[in-house]
Chains A and B, each alone.
Chain A
Amino acid sequence: MNPSAQKVPSVKTLQINGKDVSAREDQTLLDVARENGVFIPTLCNLDGLTPIGACRLCLVEVKGARRLLPACITQIQDNMEVFTETETLVKYRKMILELLFAERNHVCSVCVSNGHCELQAMAQKLGLDHIRYPYLYPKLAVDASHDRFAVDHNRCILCQRCVRVCDEIEGAHTWDVQGRGTASLVITDLNQPWGTSESCTSCGKCVQVCPTGTLFEKGRASGEMTKREFLPYLTLMREERV
């Protein structure tokens, strides 16, 4: 840890699902829940990247709050009463997943990430067996112009992990998001083919953090795109160097 950090964070106590827990004041609800073995589903969150509350899967109920709060970006407060498994939450989580599936063209059986996909695993974990919403079937092209990697927008859930890892860890900020709502799309540089991007260092971090088969190494067959968990190690080493 940084030896110059003088301020010792104070400890706060709160309740999660009726159980008393204590945590440092600078922690988020998600951190505290995980420390205490309470499961909160997430997709956009990734240790080592700034949380942005994009996927909304980590919504929790907090007593007194007028709306549901995303656990990944909610700082804890003293005497908070948090509920993570209410009927509403269970219903909403499934709904969010259904909407993700309905929005793009997720075809697990032929996907490079079949069996190693966080979206697929989450759907299984939360017991998703139907999509009640009509599929949008957007016509999205695959960009395979990069020498080593390809991006298939059909499988993108707009978690922006690629955007964050490229910006915060690699420092290239090749990735960004264009458009609004369902028209949103991750893009490279100024919305040009990935292979023509000047800023991309071809480091492959974006590919490694992608929760689905959106970003993948070319040449991989169905189910062959496995990811390495490099990020916790990388961030730890960088913290130590500061």
Chain B
Amino acid sequence: MGKQIVIDPVTRIEGHSKITIFLDDKGEVQDAQFHVTQFRGFEKFAEGRPFTEMPALTARTCGICPVSHLMASSKACDALMAVQIPRTATHLRRIMNLAQTVQSHALSFFHLSSPDLLLGMDSDPAKRNIFGVLEQQPQMARDGVALRKFGQQIIEMLGGKRIHPAWVVAGGVAEPLTAEKREKIVAMIPDAMAIIQRTLDWYKGAFEQFRTEIRTFGNFPSMFMGLVTPHEEDEHNALLEHYDGVLRFVDASGNVVLDNVDPARYLDHIAEAVEPFSYLKSPYFKPLGYPNGIYRVGPLARLNIIDRPGTPKADAEWTEFRALRRGVLLSSFHQHYARLVEILYGIEKIEQLLNEPDILSKHVRAFAKPNKHEGVGVSEAPRGTLMHHYKIDDNGLITWVNMIIATGHNNLAMNRGVAQVAKHYVKGSKLKEGALNRVEALIRCFDPCLSCSTHALGQMPMRIELLGPGGELLDHVQRG
């Protein structure tokens, strides 16, 4: 057994985790593991609760993406009731889901990752944060805050509050949209559009300097999975989807492996493995087995699996994005770029939906008792495909829950990515700040949501331990 380097906690991500880097006897990086150190237990304590409580209950999984859980959960509840929710309710849920995607992507790109991109991976960690960005590029920091506000305000206007809105319910939504609120949202769109186009222009000029990172940040062949809107006649015209649709699996060369998979039948194709080093399960693509069935979800995956996004401006940006590489884009570094394209798409799509003729309809909720004992709800969270699967008894009380979170799908990929970055940047027993930041930055590419809580700002409270073959502490760096 060689040495170990432990990064604990990983900073500027959502939640708690640590990274262990294993060195062999020669001091070369042998492997690396990404550990999620928090335990939640939602699947267990939801048992016995009325199914109508599930959207509100599971939204508490996360303070960053409660809306995503509301979507998947309410869809699973719709399935239990066996109802088709009103068209307007679907539109309204979609708008909120896209607003969530915009605000979450803005948080990931501007608040968490832009310090690395703008100030440099090797820059002073004391300044490598959103305040450092504010000093150097105040416009960009302001843009980030404004874009996040755009998303959050839409969520608040629709749902009554920004975090954990109780508005998304089994059967639809609780309140219709008012003409006044619609006008307000429409009025916010031009500013948001200007910000994202400005940011895209900057990013397209800047990301070339990260050529080495692009080559080494989770750049490996894997499958990609996500929801797509299927075209009724043309199977080669599937659009970007965040709320409904069918599952599509694409291989590392861009070939569609599986298409039109009913999300309710996800278990036919995905299984979950449990590793002792992490509380996060590792889903894998069944036909390839564990751990070969590695696949990625999220912004990059979504843009890799579709035939086009489906809105004019996003279509143009997407074409440019995909032209970076023949086939599909394999480097997880491109998640940043993908997030920006998705923000653009989100803003365009929100505008489209607000112009739907029946968007102000008062009929926004279907009422029914539970009519099925089992229901699955699948939607696209900012970080990827989110699955809620419930079983209930005759009285509508939950008897079994399975939730596969986007970050879970990416677990295998993150582990492989961490090892790849560590192998490239961590040399011997000397621990360089820039190298360790790159290991963390790889994780940030995936924007993992290890649930609610912390995204530490300011000085990195990082602990690194170098352990000898017998487990003795050889070197130790502590900050924060």
Contacts and interface: CB of A to CB of B under 8 A. Distances in A.
Interface of A: 109-110, 112, 114, 141-142, 144-145, 150, 152, 195, 218-224
Among B48, B50, B174, B367, max chain A CB count under 10 A is at: B50
B53 A141 contact: no
Interface in B49-82: 49-50, 52-53, 55-57, 60
B169 interface: yes
B66 to A, nearest CB: 11
A60 to B, nearest CB: 38
Contacts of B57: 110, 222
Given A221-B166, A221-B170, A224-B174, A144 B396 contact: yes
Nearest to A105: B45
Nearest to B46: A110
Contacts, number: 50
B169 A224 contact: yes
Contacts of A223: 56, 166
A121 B280 CA distance: 38
Interface of B: 48-50, 52-53, 55-57, 60, 164, 166, 169-170, 174, 367, 369, 395-397
B397 A142 contact: yes
A219 B397 CA distance: 11
A109 B396 contact: no
Contact of B395 (A109, A112, A144, A222): A144
Contacts of A218: 50, 52, 369, 396
Contact of A144 (B50, B60, B174): B50
Contacts of A145: 395
Contact of B369 (A112, A152, A195, A219): A219
Given A142-B48, A221-B170, A222-B55, 19 more contacts: A109-B60, A110-B53, A110-B56, A110-B57, A112-B53, A141-B48, A144-B50, A144-B397, A150-B395, A218-B52, A218-B369, A219-B52, A219-B170, A221-B52, A221-B55, A221-B166, A221-B174, A222-B166, A224-B174
Contacts of B170: 219, 221
Contacts of B397: 142, 144
A224 B160 CA distance: 13
For the complex of A and B, 8 pairs with smallest distance between CB atoms: A222-B56, A144-B395, A221-B169, A110-B56, A223-B166, A110-B57, A222-B166, A144-B397
Nearest to A195: B395
A103 B396 CA distance: 26
Contacts of A112: 53
A223 B168 CA distance: 12
Nearest to A107: B57
A195 B169 CA distance: 25
Contacts of B367: 219
B56 A150 contact: no
B305 to A, nearest CB: 33
A219 B396 CA distance: 9
A114 B165 CA distance: 12
A96 to B, nearest CB: 27
Nearest to A140: B48
19 contacts: A109-B56, A109-B60, A109-B164, A110-B53, A110-B60, A112-B53, A142-B50, A152-B50, A218-B50, A218-B369, A221-B52, A221-B56, A221-B166, A221-B169, A221-B170, A221-B174, A222-B55, A223-B56, A223-B166
